[in-house]
Amino acid sequence: MEDSSSSRMGIVVFFAIVTVSAGTMLWLFWRFPLMTAIGTLGVLAVLGVLARLARSIDVDLTDGDRTEQRI
């Protein structure tokens, strides 16, 4: 039973964090619309660049055992 209550608590905490985050973003957008929009676009641009970098340096390890290639 403790396992299900622990997972239930994790879900409640997750939804609480998402709710506070969304409320904060709405409040910021209500008070400072231009700066919030610029900041949001900046964060999304940074995440896009990081996703592209992660994809470009991703190594496919299914081509065989690479332990023999170490120096």
pLDDT of res. 10:
93
The predicted pLDDT at position 62 comes to: 58
| Amino acid at site 22 | A
Query: Which whole-number Å values give the CA distances from 9 to 5, 17, 22, 32, 45, in the listed order?
Result: 6, 12, 20, 34, 33
- Residue 68: the pLDDT is 57
Q: What local confidence, expressed as pLDDT, does residue 58 receive?
A: 80
**Range list of β-strands (E), 1-71:** none
Greatest pairwise CA separation for the chain in angstroms: 59
**Pseudo-torsion of CA 39, 45, 47, 53, nearest 10°?**
-150
0.85 exceeded by pTM: no
Read off the amino acid at residue 25: M
pLDDT tens for residues 12-71?
999 999 999 999 999 999 999 999 999 999 999 999 999 999 988 887 655 555 555 555
Q: Which residue ranges make up each domain of the chain?
A: 2-58
